[in-house]
Amino acid sequence: MPETPLIEEVFDLHAEADGITRDQFRAKIECSTHLQRLPTLSELAEVATFVASDHARSMTGTIVNLSGGTIADRAHVNPPAV
């Protein structure tokens, strides 16, 4: 991510509010996850497809967390230089 014009626009708005570039904002978000990266749209679509399929028929009242293991306290950590 960002992989769509809308996501790029949202990243740009947040970056501008923080006084940084889009790449710096992305790095800031990525370093706040356990995976050190953001999920791709393809990964999000794969999970949605699974949850909507018969393979997930035993899942009830489930929340699917696709945050990459975001650590809220780390959102304020300075990312590595881009």
Three-state secondary structure string covering 36-64:
CCCCCHHHHHHHHHHHCCHHHCCCCCCCC
The count of structural domains within the chain is 1
**Model's pTM, two decimal places?**
0.70
Query: Cα 21 to chain center, whole Å?
Result: 17
Task: Answer whether residue 66 is part of any domain.
Answer: yes
Task: Answer whether residue 81 is part of any domain.
Answer: no
Rounded Cα distance between 37 and 58, Å, is 30
Domain extent, residue 43, equals 5-74
- pLDDT at 51 (0 to 100): 94
Summarised one tens digit per residue, pLDDT across range 12-49 is 999 999 999 999 999 999 998 889 999 999 999 999 99
- pLDDT at 21 (0 to 100): 95
Task: Answer whether residue 52 is part of any domain.
Answer: yes
